[in-house]
């Protein structure tokens, strides 16, 4: 488990990049109030998805605009073709934690 | 339409072929490309690929297998005959087709008289990049002719590889036409930050050397020693093969905003197309990656009888010296530019271009998040005719 931040520190519509793990992950708080954790680096080239545009449960990559579904990690269309990895998120005592592992889940 | 032919097997051609299938075309789909390689992506050729950091540049995916394309690689289209709807190919075949997608892109321009001199390169194709990479060894003296985006990226990558780099630019400020002088100077500053010499305001006169390049002579008589030269002075559309086809050719293959040419069932996309842009209220040949990815959706719809204009604002990015530059919209003479976040000295900022109260352009350096947000405000046609 890695500790990300308090829920109160990540308002809806925002994302945070966690660079203490390699590869880094991104945690999103959607406008709908859900929390998702995924690999931060786009599977297409080198861009940080935490910098992307969050809409509903999808994030649009800031470099070439591939969209990823945060629930499944699947890209909706080119140029990205490979999914990003997703990780379970748990909130305990107001703190966001991610069940990070080297293996995909 | 039973048979569609796509000429040009790169980003725009492959994307149009995919879009045709996605939009329901189930006829025969032939893709003709003169390069021997499978389709690959060009932006990494001046960046990760040239640096040797990544060789993963193929554009084809496993999903393409199901789309049933009939590939003709290593084959050039020589001419288009609209009367009997056929393409003449370099392998001697005549390809009859009902629909044609012209996606032949552009090729790099050479300095007159320097083609074939050992050590002098342009950078457009995979083969160009492989040849250049083998010469960018530590300590090599590289002269880059042209401080545009490609020239700047090559300078940056060569510096990373340990070359000694000089960039020569005819204009007084690089990129001034696209970004204006103020922001052009900021981009030019990146060269100095990294110990690359930038010489402006002077054209190259000639390249000297017998069996191999020895130096670059400038119009003012200065001689810059060189082991390797990269000429990055722009690109010319590949449309000569269409002479006599009846298509209107100007700075590229002329199309309307839906990629339709003057001939029925013939569309043009990507770097070769001079398309009317609803966004710019002007005809425009975009030499940018995102255009070559987006126009195909429009072009496929047009071929399938449902034309709809392509609306988005032009967008491009460039990576130099670890700095990501992104620009969307278009700047014209007289527009004002304002830094609204960050600081140009820190090479991390967002600037907006305004024409009166209209937001007409957004430039970001190492600010992808803010850039994404501001770019959205350009997402509709804002410019008055
Ligand atoms: C080194 C480099 C770096 C770049 N970096 C960036 C960047 O960072 N950001 C950005 O926005 N853009 C960048 N670009 C621009 C981007 O790559 C182009 O806009 C894009 O490749 C255009 O795609 P296209 O399919 O229209 O044309 P092209 O990629 O030029 O493909 C056209 C294809 O058609 C083939 N062809 C030509 N004539 C014929 C014929 N008669 N018959 C059959 N085949 C033919 C050509 O050989 C070629 O394979 C870069 C380009 C280069 C060269
Ligand atoms: S880097 Fe994300 S789509 Fe290209």
Structural domain ending residue among the three candidates B231, B253, B282: B231
Report the distance separating Cα B269 and Cα B14, nearest Å. 11
CB contact under 8 A, B293 and A62: no
DSSP B249: B
Give A81's contacts in chain B (Cβ within 8 Å): 61, 63
Are both B201 and B261 inside the same structural domain? Answer: no
Which residue's CA is minimally distant from atom 53 of ligand 1?
B124
Determine the average pLDDT of the residues in B149-172. 98
Is B315 within a domain? no
Residue A89 has pLDDT above 80, yes or no: yes
Instruction: Provide the pLDDT confidence category of residue B371 given band limits of 50, 70 and 90.
Output: very high
Residue B231 has pLDDT above 70, yes or no: yes
Are both B331 and B265 inside the same structural domain? Answer: no
Which of B15, B61, B326 lies at the smallest CB-CB distance from A81?
B61
CA-CA-CA-CA torsion for B207, B212, B215, B221, nearest 10 degrees? -40
**Distances in whole angstroms, Cα of residue B113 to Cα of each of B110, B132, B206, B225, B340:** 8, 19, 8, 18, 46
Are both B103 and B143 inside the same structural domain? Answer: no
Structural domain ending residue among the three candidates B231, B260, B275: B231
Is B148 within a domain? yes
**ipTM tops the 0.90 cut:** no
Report the distance separating Cα A105 and Cα A72, nearest Å. 10
What pLDDT score was predicted for residue A102? 66
Quote the distance between the C-alpha of residue B237 and its chain's center: 10
Asked whether the beta carbons of B108 and B126 are under 8 A apart, the reply is no
Give residue B183 CA to ligand 2 midpoint distance, Å: 25
Domain count, chain B: 3
Å between A51 CA and nearest CA of chain B: 4
Query: What is the torsional sign of CA B181, B184, B186, B189?
Result: negative
Residue A101 has pLDDT above 80, yes or no: no
Give A63's contacts in chain B (Cβ within 8 Å): 317, 324, 326, 368
**pLDDT (tens digit per residue) in B37-59:** 999 999 999 999 999 999 999 99
Residue of B318, B324, B368 for testing the chain A interface, max A β-carbons within 10 Å: B368
Residue A103 has pLDDT above 60, yes or no: no
Instruction: Provide the pLDDT confidence category of residue B379 given band limits of 50, 70 and 90.
Output: low
Å between A71 CA and nearest CA of chain B: 21
CB contact under 8 A, B371 and A47: no
**pLDDT (tens digit per residue) in A37-85:** 999 999 999 999 999 999 999 999 999 999 999 999 999 888 999 999 9
**How many beta-carbon pairs under 8 angstroms link A with B?**
34
Structural domain ending residue among the three candidates B169, B197, B231: B231
Is B312 within a domain? no
Contacts of B381 (CB under 8 A, 6+ apart): B278, B279, B281, B311
Residue B329 has pLDDT above 80, yes or no: yes
Residue of A41, A78, A83 for testing the chain B interface, max B β-carbons within 10 Å: A78
Are both B207 and B249 inside the same structural domain? Answer: no
CB count within 10 Å of CB B66 equals 7
Are both B271 and B202 inside the same structural domain? Answer: no
> Is any atom of ligand 1 closer than 6 Å to the C-beta of B289?
yes
Which residue's CA is minimally distant from atom 37 of ligand 1?
B104
Report the distance separating Cα B120 and Cα B129, nearest Å. 12
> Is any atom of ligand 1 closer than 6 Å to the C-beta of B106?
yes
Looking up tokens 């100077």 gives B185
Contacts of B356 (CB under 8 A, 6+ apart): none
**pLDDT (tens digit per residue) in B248-283:** 999 999 999 999 999 999 999 999 999 999 888 899
DSSP B240: G
> Is any atom of ligand 2 closer than 6 Å to the C-beta of A63?
yes
What pLDDT score was predicted for residue A77? 81
Are both B154 and B180 inside the same structural domain? Answer: yes
List the Cα angle B45/B48/B52 in 5-degree steps.
95
What's the whole-number average pLDDT of chain B? 95
| DSSP symbols for A40-73 | SB-SSSS-BGGGSEEETTEEE-TTT--EEETTT-
Residue of B300, B328, B369, B371 for testing the chain A interface, max A β-carbons within 10 Å: B369
Sheet of B228-231: strand order equals B120-121, B228-231, B141-145, B164-168, B197-199
Report the distance separating Cα B344 and Cα B183, nearest Å. 9
List the Cα angle B241/B37/B57 in 5-degree steps.
115
Long-range contacts from A18-23, C-beta under 8 angstroms, 24+ separation: A18/A98, A21/A100
CATH number, domain containing residue B97: 3.50.50.60
Are both B217 and B292 inside the same structural domain? Answer: no
Asked whether the beta carbons of B358 and B383 are under 8 A apart, the reply is yes
B233 versus B377: the higher-pLDDT residue is B233
Quote the distance between the C-alpha of residue B71 and its chain's center: 24
Tokens in use for B299?
A: 């072009």
Which of A46, A52, A78 lies at the smallest CB-CB distance from B372?
A52
CB contact under 8 A, B63 and A81: yes
Are both B259 and B117 inside the same structural domain? Answer: no
CATH number, domain containing residue B349: 3.30.390.30
Tell which residue, A44, A35, A41, has the closest CA to residue A75.
A44
Report the distance separating Cα A94 and Cα B256, nearest Å. 56
Are both B102 and B29 inside the same structural domain? Answer: yes
Residue B139 has pLDDT above 70, yes or no: yes
Phi, psi (deg, nearest 5) at residue B66: -75, -10
Tokens in use for B114?
A: 């320097």
Domain with B263 in it: 3-107+235-303
């Amino acid at each position: 488990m890695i500790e990300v931040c308090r829920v109160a520190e990540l308002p809806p519509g925002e994302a945070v990049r966690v660079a203490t793990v390699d590869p880094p992950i991104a945690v999103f708080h959607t406008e709908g109030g859900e929390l998702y954790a995924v690999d931060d680096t786009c599977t297409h080239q080198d861009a940080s998805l935490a910098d992307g545009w969050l809409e509903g449960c999808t994030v649009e990559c800031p470099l070439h605009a591939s969209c990823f579904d945060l629930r499944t990690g699947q890209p909706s269309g080119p140029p990205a073709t490979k999914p990003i990895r997703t990780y379970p998120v748990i909130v305990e005592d107001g703190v966001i934690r991610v069940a990070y592992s080297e293996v995909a889940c | 339409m039973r048979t569609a032919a796509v000429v040009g097997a790169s980003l725009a051609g492959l994307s149009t072929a995919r879009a045709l299938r996605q939009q329901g075309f189930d006829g025969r789909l032939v893709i003709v490309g003169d390069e021997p390689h499978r389709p690959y992506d060009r932006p990494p050729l001046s960046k990760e690929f040239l640096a040797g950091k990544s060789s993963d540049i193929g554009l084809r995916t496993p999903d393409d297998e199901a789309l049933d394309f009939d590939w003709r690689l290593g084959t050039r289209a020589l001419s288009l005959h609209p009367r009997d709807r056929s393409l003449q190919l370099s392998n001697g075949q005549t390809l009859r087709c009902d629909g044609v997608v012209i996606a032949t892109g552009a090729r790099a321009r050479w300095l007159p008289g320097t083609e074939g001199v050992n050590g002098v390169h342009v950078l457009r194709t995979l083969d160009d990049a492989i040849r250049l990479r083998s010469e960018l060894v530590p300590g090599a003296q590289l002269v880059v002719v042209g401080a545009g985006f490609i020239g700047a990226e090559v300078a940056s990558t060569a510096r990373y590889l340990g070359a000694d780099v000089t960039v020569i630019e005819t204009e007084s400020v690089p990129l001034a036409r696209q970004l204006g002088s103020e922001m052009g100077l900021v981009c030019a500053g990146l060269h100095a930050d990294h110990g690359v010499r930038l010489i402006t305001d002077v054209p190259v006169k000639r390249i000297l050397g017998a069996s191999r390049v020895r130096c670059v002579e400038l119009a003012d008589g200065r001689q810059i020693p060189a082991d390797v030269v990269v000429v990055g002075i722009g690109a010319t559309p590949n449309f000569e093969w269409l002479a006599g086809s009846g298509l209107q050719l100007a700075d590229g293959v002329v199309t309307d905003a839906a990629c339709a040419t003057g001939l029925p069932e013939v569309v043009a996309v990507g770097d070769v197309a001079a398309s009317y842009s609803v966004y710019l209220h002007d005809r425009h040949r975009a030499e940018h990656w995102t255009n070559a990815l987006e126009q195909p959706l429009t072009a496929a719809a047009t071929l399938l009888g449902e034309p709809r204009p392509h609306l988005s604002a032009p967008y491009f990015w460039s990576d130099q010296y670890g700095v990501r530059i992104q620009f969307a919209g278009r700047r014209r003479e007289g527009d004002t530019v304002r830094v609204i976040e960050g600081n140009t000295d820190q090479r991390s900022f967002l600037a907006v271009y305004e024409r009166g109260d209209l937001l007409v352009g957004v430039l970001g350096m190492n600010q992808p998040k803010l850039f994404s947000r501001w770019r959205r405000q350009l997402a509709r046609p804002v410019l008055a005719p």
